[in-house]
Structures are given as structure tokens and as C-alpha cells.
Structure 1
């Protein structure tokens, strides 16, 4: 959501804590905010409810919110977070072992993925689609809420690698070519220096 640079944030109700969906109990939320998966990574940002009201999220640390989680306002009211429908691929495999292999290839490219018992969902990318089909997957275009697996870093505002190197790898995999993993990452946790 884009706000004018002169927006007076003090006029907005302020959300100061998070309540997980399974902890919400019988409390009825006063409103809902429908957010895409990347918009559900929050710390300090204004968001908009379904009715067009603004709320300033002002949390002590970044969080990755899931469908049904609540933001708790200073006055005690709860705002429910709803996962927005997104354009994704529904990926199916021959069997459980094949699905696991597909999940490995997707994970190896640092792509956000929702993994279920019989399928995987990822955001649409035609190059990745070609790779997966080359690996024997059945890939369909669907539009539904995208709830990717939260990584080990999700408590620190999520972990979005991006996939600048994914296309070259995907082309190689789709055509049975080998490729070396000599990608340079700018992520601090990938740049470990070991000393004897």
C-alpha cells in the first residue's frame, strides 16, 4: 500500500502485538486485512483493512503472519489477517518420492513454496514451470491463497533469497544439463568464513 510522504501516521490505530490463529479463541475480530504472502511480512508499516481503514503495524521485531493470525491493537481490538488469492502453480507428482524430489529442486532455488501431502504450490514463473515439467511434474495454473512454508529465519522477518540464479539452473535441469553451484550470494548467512 502506497502512502503519501506527508501521511500522518499518528492518526491511525496502532497494532502492537501478534496473536497466532490458534490462540485467538472466541474473540471476534473487528475487521480483516487481506494480504498477499509478501505483504504478510511485517514490522512497521501501514496496512489497509477490507473496509479501507488504515492501521499502523508497529511491532518490536519482524514477523511472518499466516492466514488467520491476528494483529492486536493498542485498544485491545483484533485485526484478522487473511491470505489473499494469488497466481500460483499447482504442482503434482507421480508419487510421494517424486514429490519429494520436486520439492528438493524448488528448495534448491530458494523459492517460497507451500508443501502439502499431494502437491506443492509456488508463485508462477514460466522458466521454473518448464524445469518442473521436464522433471515429470504436472503443473497447473490456479489462483488461491499462497501460504508458503516458513523458513528458519521467518521469525526475523522472513527470508527472501530471490532467485536471480534460478533461471539458468532451471534451463539446465529441464534439458538434462549439469551445472555448477558457484553462485555468489549477498546473504550474510551464506558468506561464512571458516578459520582453523
Structure 2
């Protein structure tokens, strides 16, 4: 028997809130673990599942991985070390978001704050721009976009 015989193939990704059945298992993944094309995942119950897609997918907290036999495996996003950036005004927060975007950093953007991965150099730069920066542990689900939802590309124009 081959080593892959005990690995159940994932046949579909169901978005959060688009499914209602009780999940058979759960996989817990950080941001990097949720941005994959091909990977063997191990569920909380110890079972293994094969994600094998033509393109990289971004799994989100609450999505379900549908198996060939119809069972569902829920995706649970893990909290990870991040920086929370706040500003004195909406205008100031917009300026800070420009500086973050200008550096092509993945960012989760909210009305009153921005979350990015911890980076002491970026934290220092943002503080010098007037940001209030603090370390937090949270789920990281950054905005998609031109640089974060596609395959690597050249910046040459």
C-alpha cells in the first residue's frame, strides 16, 4: 500500500458561511499555511488531507475543505505575532497605509487600525510617521490585491 493511500483528497473549497453541515475535522493554520497550492494537511483528529490545486488558494477562517466522500474539514486560522498600527486621525491612518503599501507589505486594513507582520524596522519607520504601534497576537487575513493574490512577478515596466 502506498504512503498516500491514507491521505484523503480535497475536491472543493467552500467559503465560510456557505456551508452548514457539522465538520468531520478541523485544520489549524497560520497565514502562510492558508496560502497554498499543494500541501498535505493534518487535522486535529490526526487524519491527513491533500490540497492539490492548479493555482495558489487563500484559505480563510471558517472555510470548509470538501473531501471526495462529502465530509467537510473546517479551516481555523491561528493567531500569530503581528503589529497593530493606529493613528490620531483617519487621514493619518490613510497616510500610514500608503507607506505600508509602498513597501508591498501584506496588511489587514480596518477603519481604525492596520495589522501587519511584526518587523521592527517597519515599526520604527511608522512610529516616526506618528503611528501608535503595538505588538499583538491575532488572526492575519490581509487584503488581497495586485501583489498578494497572484504568482510572483517582475516590477519592471
Shared topology, TM-score over 0.5? yes
Q: CA deviation at 1:153?
A: 6.1
Counterpart of 1:19 in structure 2 is 14
Higher percent of residues as strand: 2
Q: How does 1:164-179 map to 2 (within 5 A)?
A: none
What value does the CA root-mean-square deviation take over the aligned residues? 1.8
Q: How many residues align?
A: 156
Tell which structure's C-alpha radius of gyration is larger: 1
Aligned counterparts of 1:48 and 1:101: Cα–Cα separation in 2: 41
Deviation digits for residues 79-104 of structure 1, max 9, x if unmatched? 11111110001111111111111111
Instruction: Find the partner of 1:136 among 130, 135, 138.
Output: 130
Aligned counterparts of 1:138 and 1:160: Cα–Cα separation in 2: 33
Q: Which one has more relative contact order, counting CA pairs under 8 Å at least 6 apart?
A: 2
Using the size of structure 2 for normalisation, the TM-score is 0.91
Counterpart of 2:63 in structure 1 is 69
Task: Point out where structure 2 has 5 or more consecutive residues left out of the alignment.
Answer: none
Aligned counterparts of 2:146 and 2:6: Cα–Cα separation in 1: 35
Is 1:88 aligned with 2:82? Answer: yes
Secondary structure in 2 matching 1:151:
coil
Q: How does 1:147-166 map to 2 (within 5 A)?
A: 147-152=141-146, 158-159=149-150
Aligned counterparts of 2:53 and 2:61: Cα–Cα separation in 1: 18
Using the size of structure 1 for normalisation, the TM-score is 0.74
Secondary structure in 1 matching 2:32:
helix
Q: How does 1:54-65 map to 2 (within 5 A)?
A: 54-65=48-59
Counterpart of 2:22 in structure 1 is 28
Q: Is the 8 A contact 2:82 2:118 kept in 1?
A: yes
Q: Is the 8 A contact 1:87 1:123 kept in 2?
A: yes
Counterpart of 2:156 in structure 1 is 191
Instruction: Find the partner of 1:113 among 107, 110, 130.
Output: 107
Structure 1 stretches of 4+ with a deviation exceeding 6 A read none
Q: CA deviation at 1:191?
A: 2.8
Counterpart of 1:9 in structure 2 is 4
Task: Point out where structure 1 has 5 or more consecutive residues left out of the alignment.
Answer: 1-6, 162-186
Deviation digits for residues 93-141 of structure 1, max 9, x if unmatched? 1111111111110011111111111100001000000000000000011
